[in-house]
């Protein structure tokens, strides 16, 4: 093991940081755990732009926020290094490559989805996605369900969403209240640690080190906090007002803006946790897409860089295309516009939370509060994800309903994907690739026989 370097890195220019954030946007595969591990490797270990302690301090803050924690962590570090523009660039470039890629994939899906080759690839991806969701439930549950309290919360959440059909916002609200009350009765049952397992090590002096004074722009003041809040409320109101003026309050784009503004505030526990809420609204209530398309969208979201919550861009694209917002001759434009609107309203609150809360967090450099409600919410998320996995498995294995035939080839592909994930610890991308090829081989073989 090489000794840690003793020299402090040279100051990083805005242009140098921009180049890194752009690169990160194209290579950030692997979900939040993989993305955070990649940022730790690049920013803490290799480049030493920020120390381990400051990195974990920022991560703990992002964990208690609704929204994609990896994207918010990038925003936080970019803001700490280069003020508000640094945060906006870091967080924006974490998302934009994924948006453009998903728009292209969504167009291929809508225009050529019934072509045998494309249909075959999707046939294999769907059971793999089911296995990935089960893996997510296992991964989150293994760290969140540590005692009878958290197991009880997870089981209650599963019953609430599966049998009682309670809305997702109510479930996480009740879980948070339970965690708060539980912390008064049995505080040791709700202790929360960082879930990403970075261990404190010495990598040498960092540009933003453990004892580096907080930059002037990151110091907390009520005046600055009020200014940030009013600016973001103004941006949201201006965007919603423009949509309402152009398309009316009942217009599809306006409804998408309103719905995904609410969804953005409910993404505690990551994208898997909020997907049932998105499903309830986008599929059942607004009918922007159907259940099969929702599953296909998750498959595409799993196979692209960026936060998994970017699946909402697919939802927007399919909804805009299906509603033919700008007429039958401008379907791509309608889909792209809807994807852009959905992405804007989904991620706007993430930037607000960092620019508003970051200065306060920088003044503490201590343990965060609210860990008990977060522990309970994370436990409830496990139950919700199990329900999501059961929903996907049902539609994959019995695509025409329980009265129809059992889709055994999908079951074989799904079991193979689960074996690769659980037994051989393969990453998401290889599993999706081989599952897609298996689905393609099966459908082409069936077509030739």
Query: What digits encode the pLDDT tens for the residues 231-252?
Result: 999 999 999 999 999 999 999 9
Looking at the domain assignment, is residue 178 inside a domain?
Answer: yes
Its pTM stands at 0.76
Specify whether the CB–CB gap between 443 and 116 falls below 8 A.
yes
- What is residue 195's predicted lDDT score, i.e. its pLDDT? 44
- What is residue 237's predicted lDDT score, i.e. its pLDDT? 98
23 Cβ contact list (under 8 Å, min separation 6): none
- What is residue 367's predicted lDDT score, i.e. its pLDDT? 45
- What is residue 194's predicted lDDT score, i.e. its pLDDT? 43
Looking at the domain assignment, is residue 52 inside a domain?
Answer: no
Looking at the domain assignment, is residue 82 inside a domain?
Answer: no
- What is residue 407's predicted lDDT score, i.e. its pLDDT? 95
Looking at the domain assignment, is residue 378 inside a domain?
Answer: yes
Specify whether the CB–CB gap between 268 and 67 falls below 8 A.
no
- What is residue 390's predicted lDDT score, i.e. its pLDDT? 87
154-161 contacts, C-beta under 8 A, 24 or more apart: 154/379, 154/380, 154/382, 154/383, 154/386, 155/383, 156/380, 156/383, 157/379, 157/380, 157/381, 157/382, 157/383, 157/384, 158/383, 158/384, 158/386, 158/387, 159/383, 160/383, 161/276, 161/383, 161/384, 161/387
Looking at the domain assignment, is residue 324 inside a domain?
Answer: yes
Looking at the domain assignment, is residue 75 inside a domain?
Answer: no
Mean confidence (pLDDT) of the chain: 86
Distance CA 355, CA 203 (A): 28
Structural domain containing residue 436: 98-192+220-448
Looking at the domain assignment, is residue 258 inside a domain?
Answer: yes
Distance CA 428, CA 417 (A): 9
Q: Tell me how many domains the chain contains.
A: 1
pLDDT in tens, 98-110: 999 999 999 999 9
- What is residue 48's predicted lDDT score, i.e. its pLDDT? 93
- What is residue 408's predicted lDDT score, i.e. its pLDDT? 96
- What is residue 188's predicted lDDT score, i.e. its pLDDT? 79
The ranges of the chain with pLDDT < 70 are 1-6, 29-34, 60, 191-202, 267-273, 364-371
Distance CA 60, CA 193 (A): 8
């Amino acid at each position: 093991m090489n000794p840690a370097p003793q020299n402090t890195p040279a100051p990083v220019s805005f242009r140098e940081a921009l180049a890194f954030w752009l690169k990160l946007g194209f290579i950030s595969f692997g979900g939040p755990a993989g993305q955070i591990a990649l940022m730790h490797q690049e920013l803490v270990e290799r480049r030493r732009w920020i120390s381990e302690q400051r990195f974990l301090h920022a991560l703990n803050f992002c964990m208690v926020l609704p929204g994609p924690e990896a994207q918010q962590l990038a925003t936080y570090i970019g803001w700490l290094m280069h003020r508000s523009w640094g945060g906006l660039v870091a967080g924006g470039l974490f998302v934009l490559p994924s948006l453009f890629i998903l728009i292209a994939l969504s167009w291929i899906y809508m225009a050529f989805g019934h072509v045998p080759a494309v249909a075959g690839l999707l046939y294999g991806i769907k059971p793999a996605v089911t296995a990935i969701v089960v893996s997510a439930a296992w991964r989150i549950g293994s760290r969140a369900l540590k005692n009878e309290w958290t197991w009880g919360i997870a089981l209650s959440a599963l019953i609430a969403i599966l049998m009682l059909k309670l809305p997702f916002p109510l479930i996480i609200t009740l879980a948070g209240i339970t965690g708060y009350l539980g912390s008064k009765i049995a505080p040791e049952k709700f202790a929360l640690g960082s879930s990403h397992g970075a261990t404190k090590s010495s990598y040498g002096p960092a540009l933003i080190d453990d004892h580096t004074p907080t930059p002037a722009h990151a110091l907390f003041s009520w005046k600055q906090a009020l200014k940030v809040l009013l600016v973001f409320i103004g941006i949201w109101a201006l965007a919603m007002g423009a949509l309402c003026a152009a398309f009316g309050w009942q217009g599809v784009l306006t409804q998408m803006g309103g719905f995904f503004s609410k969804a953005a505030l409910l993404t505690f526990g990551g994208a898997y946790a909020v997907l049932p809420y998105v499903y309830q609204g986008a599929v059942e209530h607004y009918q922007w897409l159907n259940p099969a398309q929702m599953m296909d969208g998750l498959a595409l979201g799993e196979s692209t860089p960026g936060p998994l919550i970017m699946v909402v861009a697919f939802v927007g694209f399919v909804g805009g295309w299906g509603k033919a917002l700008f007429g039958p001759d401008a379907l791509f434009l309608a889909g792209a516009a809807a994807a852009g609107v959905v992405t804007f309203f989904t991620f706007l609150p993430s930037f607000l939370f960092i620019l508003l809360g970051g200065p306060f967090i920088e003044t503490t450099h201590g343990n965060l509060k609210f860990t008990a409600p977060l522990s309970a919410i994370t436990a409830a998320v496990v139950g919700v994800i199990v329900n999501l996995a059961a929903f996907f498995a049902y539609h994959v294995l019995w695509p025409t309903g329980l009265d129809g035939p059992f889709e055994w080839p999908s079951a074989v592909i799904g079991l193979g994907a689960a074996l690769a994930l659980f037994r051989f610890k393969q990453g998401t991308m290889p599993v999706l690739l081989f599952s897609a090829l298996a689905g393609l081989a099966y459908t082409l073989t069936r077509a030739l026989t």
